[in-house]
Amino acid sequence: MQLLLFVSSAVLLLGGGAAWLLGAATMSELLWVAGTVLGLVFSIAWTVGALWRRQPSVDVIALLALAGALWVHEPFAGAMITVMLASGQLLEARAAARARRELSLLVERAPRTARRRLEDGVVEVPVDEVSRGDRILVGTGEVVPVDGRLVSGGTLDEAALTGESLPVERPAGDEVRSGVVNAGQPIDLVATSVAAESTYAGVVRLVEQAQASSAPFVRAADRIAVFFVPLTLLLAAAAWALSGDPVRAVAVLVVATPCPLLLAAPIAIMAGLSRAAHIGVVVKGGGALERLAAGTVMLFDKTGTLTQGQPTLADVVTASNGVDADEVLRLAASLDQVSPHVLASSIVTAATRRGLTLEMPDDVQEEHGYGLSGLVGAREVRVGKAGWIVGDAQPAWVRQVLRRANLDDSLTVFVGIDGEPAGAFLLQDPIRSDAPRMVRGLREAGIVRIVLVTGDRADIADTVGRIVGVDTVLADCDPAAKLVAIESEAVHAPTIMVGDGVNDAPALAAAGVGVALAARGATASSEAAGVVLTVDRLDALADAILIARRSKSIALQAVLVGMGLSLVAMVAAAAGLLPPAAGAVIQEAIDVLAIGIALRAVLPGKVHTITMPAADIDAAHRLKVEHDAVLAVVEQIRAVADTLSTQNCDLAPAHTLFDRLEAELLPHERADEARLLPLVDRTLGSSDTTVAMSRTHAEIEHQVSRLHRLLADLDNDTVQPEDVIELRRLLYGLYGVLRLHNAQEEEGAFSLVPVGTVARAGS
């Protein structure tokens, strides 16, 4: 409709101009009158519609200007006004369509059916019939129908959700979201949610909310328009009364049509929504965008926001030397491949990242509330609670595991092999490697105060707060206490609350604007929040704030320039310096200028997202795989140190450890020095970040060299207690340096790599 109106009005205006140039005055006047009448009809319809909806509108000014142009025989001015109105409507429609396109793409890809594996084959069923625990087959090029966990590794195209153009390699055990596309071989997954609770169901609701609201700036523009209408009418009446010439009044009305106010502001705001959606941030309408732009105090929940939000394997403790740590992990992960439990996913992911080869289990049985049992190859494996695996007795190694779990706030999973306790896993919720960088980015984006608000105990919360760099930590907070914290901060400045859990929903709704993290699926927090991150990168939040502030600033610039020039033109028209025809041309130029200013918001602005060449992404990914693989060697250092005894000390485990350090750890650290650190320098444009990492590489080499010399001087027959103490001290020191260094690499290097991207075949 907007395009038809624009084409029709332009044809009538240009046709009239051509007829006038050819000397056909009557024909030109008829064409211009037709154009004016066309605009008059639509203006009446728009005005009546606004009155019916009880919305303020300045369409009455356009209506009076068109009617006045006919009255004083200025058909050219009327035809020009019609073109002006039509072009404004068309631009607004196109800008709105652009904003909706980024969001609607998510909805259009929603799957409708799923292929469920049964004992006797595969059956295609409606996606609503999928239940948790169902095994789903996803063919090449098909859309993942429900959230689930991969039974085997696969390559996925997640561009529709994250905007990331490169394929994503997901190992067995990784969680995948509905709506992504299988870009590799057919894959199997175990459904972890029903369709109504999957990512796409939540995305549909988010999009509906995002498209249903308008910005307060736009609503404020409507309110300003209410005052602008009587001002225009008074000025037009005064010009007529003082001069006695109704043409002056019509000229005032012609140049008074406030398109900059009505169109430029919405275009800029909608462009901001589009830019935010492009980087994976769904903003629920212009209102949320403006509140995001205004916020200067940010409150964070901890779990799932500043931390990963899901357990990650921190250590493997073995019960004896009968089965080594890697074999315990391999057998347990093989069994856990078919379990929908969240801890099973963590164990499978850890095994695949260490390069362990998993087998599909047989005869799997679940003991509800206790664990899982089954056959992996020829071995009977059980994974579950301590009491189910080791019984009521607690040998020393079990007490050690439970003590460490209590000190580190870890979860434990015990493993039995062939009827005997074999070991245990310690799982923690680690701090996100990109969290410190995100906090620095937020401060650069204008956030002046950052508060950590969490229900966790104070010692854990303080540790997280120190590492990521917040200003204040509020621990032991239930949902009611979080509301009190938000109200307290809101007294001083506009607030932004960031969270991802169900218990965060009240706080997200109470803050100036709530931001929910939904990269792993929409939850109640997504429903309560005004802004939702659909990408698993926190730096997108700082970028969204920059986009919001830029869009609001551009909207204000467009309105001030457009309305300022319109007011000048109105005064000139009232003074008789601007006839209606010339006024119409000038007003069209003003509108085009204002809308052009607003459309700048469509263009990319300053963001904190770091770009990296494809070759560097490939190199970083390969180094990350090596980085994950040597984590087992690092944990072996502590395990060997723990078992050293000053009486009858056996040095064989220490010699075996040194061989692994030389064969696996040192080559990896040297590769990091030669390839990873220059990559980071190129990406950040500075070598300041890598100075500390380079120094740590040198320290690791030094400590391994000292270990070599110490072991060369010792043998089992002559080793003294003080030698064992020195060896243990050296191992613990090396372990501490490596743990800190690994954290440095995760934060300073690997957090720069786009999440999930992989090296392409043949690279």
Residue among 59, 157, 188, 301 flagged as catalytic: 301
What Å distances lie between residue 39 and 89, 259, 579, CA to CA?
12, 15, 20
User: How are beta strands 168-170 and 135-138 bridged, if at all?
Assistant: unpaired
d(CA 105, CA 23): 52
Residues 6+ apart with CB under 8 A from 49: none
d(CA 147, CA 2): 40
Query: For 575-687, where are the alpha helices, taking DSSP H only?
Result: 580-599, 614-629, 631-643, 652-660, 666-671, 677-684
d(CA 521, CA 352): 23
Tokens of 214: 């308008």
Candidates 256, 259, 260, 264; CA nearest to 66 is 256
Tokens of 64: 């009076």
Candidates 564, 553, 562, 560; CA nearest to 601 is 553
d(CA 185, CA 352): 18
248, 574 Cβ separation under 8 angstroms: yes
d(CA 103, CA 398): 51
d(CA 158, CA 177): 9
Residues 6+ apart with CB under 8 A from 53: none
The type of residue at 136 is: I
202, 522 Cβ separation under 8 angstroms: yes
Residues 6+ apart with CB under 8 A from 469: 436, 439, 440, 450
Task: Provide DSSP, 354-394.
Answer: TTPPP---EEEEEETTTEEEEEETTEEEEEE-HHHHH-S--
- The sign one gets for the Cα dihedral 441, 443, 447, 451 is positive
d(CA 99, CA 261): 19
Which helix (H) or strand (E) element contains residue 412?
A: strand 411-417
Q: Does the annotation count 471 as an active-site position?
A: no
Q: What angle do CA 82, 85, 86 make, to 5 degrees?
A: 85
Task: Provide DSSP, 106-163.
Answer: HHHT---EEEEEETTEEEEEEGGG--TT-EEEE-TTPBP-S-EEESS-EEEE-HHHH-
For residue 754, what is the DSSP state?
P
SS3 229: helix
SS3 563: helix
d(CA 702, CA 54): 77
Residue found under tokens 């990331």: 164
Tokens of 638: 């502590």
281, 544 Cβ separation under 8 angstroms: yes
Q: What angle do CA 8, 5, 257 make, to 5 degrees?
A: 110
For residue 307, what is the DSSP state?
B
Residue 121 CB neighbour total at 10 angstroms: 7
Q: Would you please indicate which residues are annotated as catalytic (active-site) residues?
A: 301
